[in-house]
Structure formats: C-alpha cells, structure tokens
A and B are shown apart, each in its own frame.
Chain A
Amino acid sequence: MSEITPFLKKLLTLPGLSAYEDPVREAIATEWRPLVDELSVSRVGSLHGVRRGRGTWEGKRPGILIATHMDAIGLMVTGVVDGLLRVTEVGGVDPRVLPYQPVTIHGRRDLPGVIVQPPESLLPSNTRGKPVRLQHLLVDTGLLPEEVHELVRVGDLISFATQPVELAGETLAGHTLDNRASVAALTICLQELKRTAHPWDVWAVATVQEEETYAGGYTSPVDIHPDLAIAVDVTFAKGPGVSDYRGFPLGKGFTVGYGANVHTAMFTALKDLADEMDLPNHVEVMPNQSGTDAYPMQVVEEGIPTAIIGIPLRYMHTPVETVSLKDINRVGRLLAEFISRLDDHFMEKICWDGK
C-alpha cells in the first residue's frame, strides 16, 4: 500500500460538508504545515499553503495554483417526525444509493444513525417498487423520540459514516474520495517538492464548496493572483454503470482534460510531460464545462490559463467510491515535476495559435 494511505484514510473519516469544511481542513493543515512556507485560510474557508520559489525575478515571482476541493457531499435535516429525521441533500446525491447507509448526524453532539427506507405500506401507493424519493427517506438514530427532539434540529448536517476499506489491486473504497483523493495527490506533490528546487511559487489550495457553488474556486485565485492554475479532481472510471468514452480504466493512469475549460498550451505541456515521464495517461475530452474548480478559476479577474488533471474513480457520489492509489501517486509525481520545471520562459509557451 502507498505511503499516503494512512493520511487519505484519515481524511475519509473526517466530516467536511460543503460550507462546513473545518474538521477536514484542520487535518490537511496539520499534514501540509511542514511542507509549506506559509499556511492561511481564505475568507470562505479554503486552505492556502505556499512554497516560495527559489527563482529571482525582476517583478513579482510567478506562481501556480493547484486546487483540490476538500468538501464532501451529504445530507441536511429538514424535519424531525416521531424521533426520525427527514432530510435533503448537500451536493448531488442519488437517493437510490442512500437506503441503509451508516451516517453521522452532527446534532448537539455527533450521533450515529442509519438512512432507512420506510415499508412500502407507508409510502405513496403509486411508487411501489420504485426507488424511494429523498423526501420519503428517514434517518434513524436508535434514540428515543424525546432524546432526538432534544439533540437534533432542522438544518443539522449529516455525513456518511462508511469506513474506508482497501480492495484488491491497490485500490481504496469509501465515501468522499471525491475529492480527498486529489488532496492526497497534492500532498504527495508537496512532499516531492520538498526535495526539489522550484523557481516558481507554488500555492497548494484545498477549496471549499465545490459541490455546491464553487465558492472556493472563485475566490482563492483573487487572493493569490496565480499565473497558472490546475484543478485536480476525480473523473469517471470504467466499471459497472460506465462503459462509454466518459470512463477511463481504473488504476491505468490519470487523465489530462481537453476542451474549452482548459488552455490548450497547458494541456499540451502536461500531456507531453506525462508522456516523457512514462506516466500512463488518457486525454479526457470535456465537451462543455468540466464540473471542476477549473470552471470558476478560468474566469477569475482577467482570466487564468487553466488545466485539469483527473483521477479515475468508480461509483462517484456513492459511499463506495473506489480509486487507485497508483493513480494518486502518479498525479503527485506529475504535478511536482511540472512545477519544478516552471522557469522564467514558461509563460512564453502559454499562447494561442502558436503566437
């Protein structure tokens, strides 16, 4: 198993729903503190770590921002009925994967519980045999109704509580590997950079609220003013339910995003480097917007040349997301090498139509 596994597993056991990322942010900060020169928290809660470059420049030293969102999808309490909770979603949740998932309810104290599907006789008669809608699912804490009414109120958050598990072929399954897998990859990058001189400033950023509003992706570049930005996020792996071009083989390399959300020169630079390093990779065509932090970052202020690296993951937005540790390591190495090669001529390559 990879050296990053214990840290990644720890990230998967910490809550951090969109807009409430504090618990996971603290764990990331602890890991990053020895790897960066300065750490700060943005006004919306994103974590910024900077490693200062060694290069000497006439003006401001150029910088690159690597964004990995740290927020998780989950649920929120909308009502308490007879000691059971009614819920809505935070981020895009498929109600069909919810029945009988273990959860933690963040009430006046953290309570274990389980999402349940009421018996058919208690549901609308025209939904027999169909997936139970989110508004009809309940959460049971096993507590007596009076205790529940004391400890839980509308607006309380609910996190998935599935424990991560290592599967065959150096893969890891659990909830919220979207996108803590990428946080782990960025951490590997920082570890590598500690052993390497790099002329540019490197901003490692764990963004907030990607699953809801991209609030982190829109705001961190304003604080940082990077010259380049890369979003690292998970993408679809081939497997049950995914067989077409939108999926990539699990554990057989990362993806380099290509499309309107990516600066073509950035794509080429990353793709060429990956090939040169013999790191297995795939071109991921993104016909429209990418659904990553690259989408907001590209249009911050006067615009930023942006790229996207994807880590293939099975069963996205379920509590059994599955990812390859090999792919995570490969992304960490690619990023570190890319960053260490950034010099005073690199920006000349970032142009359109070869000019």
Chain B
Amino acid sequence: MIRSFQRACMVAVLAAALGSGAARAATVVGDLAPDFALPAVAGGNVRLSEHRGDVVLLTFWSSGCSVCAAQLDALGSLQTTYRSAGLVTLAVSVDDNVDRALRYANSHPVRFPLLLDRRKDVSRAYRIERLPTMVLIDRRGRVRFVVADYRRTDNSYVAQVRELLDDPL
C-alpha cells in the first residue's frame, strides 16, 4: 500500500516536472519568429523575412487533419478581408507524404500560399505539437500569439489579428 503510494507520488512529481518543462518549451510567444524559406505548392519559394512590415498569420496543417480544412477555408476569407491592411497568410504543411499534401492542396484551393515543410525544420523551429496551430507574427517579426486549439465557433483569433494590424510599425 505504502509502496504503491510512493510510486504514485514519484510519477506525479516526474509528470509535474516534465509537464512544466514541456509548457516552457512549447511557447515561442515574444521571440523573434524564426526565419525560413519553403517551396510553395503553386511554385516558387516563400521567405518569411520578406514579409517584415506585414502581419503574418502562419498556420500549420496536414492533409490528415479534419479540422484543418475548415480552418484553411476560414483563413481564406480572413485573408481576403484584411489583405489590404497588410495581412499575409502562410500555411505550412507538415505532411510526411508530400504527394498526399499536394493532392489535398489541389482539391482545396485557397488564396494564400500553401508551403511544404518536407524536412520539418520549420515545424520544429516553431515547436508545433498539435494541428492545426496558428502563429501570429507582428510587423516587427515577433511572435505575438499562438493559437493551438482551433474551434469553428471561436473567432477570438480575428480580434488578435486586428490588434496586430492596428499596431503600427
């Protein structure tokens, strides 16, 4: 009885220690957004640092993620609305199977670049742990918000986008 209690305590302590470490590792808010260049599905390459001065909405998606399709649609209309205000949306695929990602991208046409992160360098740099995850980068190139739990009914990220768009350089 005592032994099992001891084990439970040890497990709890380890979980707490690991949990706090993971929480620290998962956040990149406040840091300068790691720069990257990735090939786009439509052709050509896209470099993040070329969009310094714009508000960048970076979203990580996968063809196997059911919520991602709905999110990409929602971001398409958001991009149309705020493009003139300086919003740039970039969607990074973390698919292992590039052909599958390409098929998915071709069947879900969107109005912003869909990028392929074949080596997973970018998703590692942004410490992506779940899909879809949105990273909002301000005009100075700093990560300001990370939205990891997308819900169709929750449009709070729109307010965050507007806040960044209202913030002058």
Genuine A/B complex: no
Chain B residues at the A interface, C-beta cutoff of 8 Å: none
